[in-house]
């Protein structure tokens, strides 16, 4: 597989994946409506790789545009990132989330079917496991009804793909990401949160940069060693690399549907993350403990051994590297 269509290719995980694909010598066609990304990411990718993807500014809700892209560029595989991803926003605008994330997926598989492009990698999330207490979580952990419309779109997205492969010759790899953080070591690409970040690491870096006054750690009375939540943080560069492995797997194996957890396979508490950020960057962070945030899972981390065994993929970058790269990225933002 040489020509890869990447939806949401200028977004956070998409841009890092485009870099890895280009560095592997692939031809990349990226489509993005810039709803949550910036056109400057394209030249940043070129700075890193010495070349850039073919870029189409457009919306995957536009099925005719998708047909034109498939017709003109003839992709052999698809990595589907384009979606809205803010859990809190999805509770305020559920229909907008269903429409973008589910209609977008349905359009894409519809056009992929028309053009007989059957290799499909889907960005799923650990959110499909819901509020579980069984960490480390393997792929066979029962899925739970989602607690947010965003989560529902991931759960239903997976269900649609699970159904599809029974009737059409698609090969689908569902990648369930845990908590992606950090930025490219060049600090040329990273996460661009619009407005007030709801995720931990952008909130930390913006607080350190003086954009936010104080980080509130949501709860320190959980039943965990230091009382704060535990998550499986994964460096976005490690995560991006897993997509190349997933495409290789699809190219070389006969299967319909596969699921992989993508995480480091170990948990870090929110307080550990804060302390690690302070230590590796030699920055004092203004933070306090506050109330629990509604809907937060107490602790969750992946059993990522299946990806190790089957995809020959494992994380290489430490929490320290995640915190260093996130800070380096924050410091150059706005330059
Ligand atoms: P992101 O918002 O940075 O990237 C998504 C990109 O898709 C953006 O550039 C946006 O402009 C684009 N996009 C959205 N709707 C579109 C549409 N209709 N047409 C064309 N482009 C569109 O998000 P991300 O963090 O890179 O996430 C990528 C994928 O991974 C999403 O599907 C997300 O749900 C999933 N995911 C993310 C996380 C996370 O914590 N970041 C965790 C698990 C799963
Ligand atoms: C991490 C921890 C917070 C902000 C979300 C989605 C999940 C997946 C990954 C897409 C929690 C704490 C946070 C702050 C804090 N995304 N926190 N103060 O909730 O684990 O996962 O992103 O699929 O589906 O739900 O990530 O970064 O929001 O929170 O104390 O200002 O940091 O309580 O324990 P979360 P997060």
Mean pLDDT of the region 290-315:
97
3-state secondary structure the chain: CCEEEEECCCCHHHHHHHHHHHHCCCEEEEEECCCCCCCHHHHHHHHHHCCCCEEEECCCCCHHHHHHHHHHHCCCEEEECCCCCCHHHHHHCHHHHHHHHHHHHHHHHHHHHHCCCCEEEEEEEHHHHCCCCCCCECCCCCCCCCCCHHHHHHHHHHHHHHHHCCCCCCEEEEEEECEEECCCCCCCCCCCCCCCCCCHHHHHHHHHCCCCCCEEEECCCCCCCCCCCEECEEEHHHHHHHHHHHHHHHHHCCCCEEEEEECCCCCEEHHHHHHHHHHHHCCCCCEEEECCCCCCCCECCECCHHHHHHHCCCCCCCHHHHHHHHHHHHHHCCC
Q: What is the distance in A from the centroid of ligand 2 to the CA of 313?
A: 24
Q: What is the distance in A from the centroid of ligand 2 to the CA of 298?
A: 11
Atom of ligand 2 nearest to the CA of 204: 31
Q: How confident is the model at residue 194 (pLDDT cuts 50, 70, 90)?
A: confident
Q: Could you tell me if the CB of 218 is within 6 A of ligand 2? A: yes
Atom of ligand 1 nearest to the CA of 10: 9
Each domain of the chain, given as residue ranges in start order, spans 3-185+234-263
**Residue 259 known to be catalytic:** no
Mean pLDDT of the region 221-238:
98
Q: Could you tell me if the CB of 226 is within 6 A of ligand 2? A: no
Q: Could you tell me if the CB of 293 is within 6 A of ligand 2? A: yes
Atom of ligand 2 nearest to the CA of 179: 9
Q: How confident is the model at residue 225 (pLDDT cuts 50, 70, 90)?
A: very high
Mean pLDDT of the region 5-19:
98
Atom of ligand 2 nearest to the CA of 270: 32
Query: How far apart, in whole angstroms, are the C-alpha atoms of residue 118 and residue 121?
Result: 10
- pLDDT exceeds 70 at position 334: no
Residues whose beta carbon lies within 6 Å of some atom of ligand 1? 8, 10-14, 31-37, 59-61, 81-83, 85, 100, 104, 123, 125, 177, 180
- pLDDT exceeds 90 at position 146: no
Atom of ligand 1 nearest to the CA of 192: 3
Q: What is the distance in A from the centroid of ligand 2 to the CA of 105?
A: 24
Q: Which residue minimizes the CA distance to atom 28 of ligand 1?
A: 81
Q: What is the distance in A from the centroid of ligand 1 to the CA of 222?
A: 30
Q: Which is catalytic among the residues 84, 118, 129, 150? A: 150
Mean pLDDT of the region 273-296:
97
Q: What is the distance in A from the centroid of ligand 2 to the CA of 74?
A: 38
Share of the chain above pLDDT 90, in %: 95
Q: How confident is the model at residue 335 (pLDDT cuts 50, 70, 90)?
A: very low
- Nearest ligand, measured from the Cα of 298: 2
Mean pLDDT of the region 141-165:
94
Q: Ligand 2: which of 12, 123, 200, 239 to mutate, judged by most atoms within 8 Å of the beta carbon?
A: 200
Q: Which residue minimizes the CA distance to atom 33 of ligand 2?
A: 218
Predicted local confidence at residue 333, as pLDDT: 87
Predicted local confidence at residue 145, as pLDDT: 84
Note the CATH architecture for domain 3-185+234-263: 3-Layer(aba) Sandwich (3.40)
- List pLDDT tens digits, range 51-61: 999 999 999 99
Query: How far apart, in whole angstroms, are the C-alpha atoms of residue 163 and residue 170?
Result: 11
Average pLDDT in the chain:
97
Q: What is the distance in A from the centroid of ligand 2 to the CA of 84?
A: 15
């Amino acid at each position: 597989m040489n020509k890869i269509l990447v939806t949401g290719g200028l977004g956070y995980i998409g841009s890092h994946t485009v870099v890895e694909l280009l560095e592997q010598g692939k031809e990349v066609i990226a489509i993005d409506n810039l709803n949550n990304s910036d056109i400057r990411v394209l030249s940043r990718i070129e700075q890193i790789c010495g070349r850039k993807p073919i870029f189409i500014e457009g919306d995957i809700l536009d099925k005719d545009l998708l047909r034109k892209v498939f017709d003109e560029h003839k992709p052999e595989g698809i990595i589907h990132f384009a979606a809205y991803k803010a859990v809190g926003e999805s509770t305020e605008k559920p229909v907008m989330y269903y429409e973008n994330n589910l209609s977008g997926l349905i359009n894409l598989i519809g056009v992929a079917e028309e053009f007989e492009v059957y290799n499909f990698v889907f960005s799923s999330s650990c959110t499909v496991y819901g509020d579980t207490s069984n960490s480390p979580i393997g792929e066979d952990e029962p899925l739970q009804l989602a607690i947010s419309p965003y989560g529902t779109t991931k759960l239903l997205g997976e269900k649609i793909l699970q159904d599809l492969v029974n009737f059409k010759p698609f090969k689908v790899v569902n990648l369930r990401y845990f908590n992606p953080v950090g930025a490219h070591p060049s600090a040329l690409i990273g996460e661009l949160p619009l407005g007030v970040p709801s995720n931990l690491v952008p909130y930390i870096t913006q607080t350190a940069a003086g954009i936010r006054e104080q980080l509130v750690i949501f709860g320190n009375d959980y039943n965990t060693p230091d009382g704060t939540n535990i998550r499986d943080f994964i460096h976005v560069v490690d995560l991006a690399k897993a997509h190349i492995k997933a495409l290789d797997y699809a190219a070389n194996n006969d299967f319909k549907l596969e699921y992989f957890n993508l995480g480091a396979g170990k948990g870090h508490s929110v307080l550990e993350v804060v302390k690690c950020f302070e230590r590796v960057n030699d920055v004092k962070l203004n933070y306090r403990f506050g109330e629990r945030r509604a809907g937060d899972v107490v602790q969750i981390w992946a059993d990522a051994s299946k990806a190790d065994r089957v995809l020959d993929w494992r994380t290489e970058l430490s929490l320290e590297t995640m915190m260093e790269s996130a800070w380096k990225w924050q410091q150059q933002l706005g330059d």
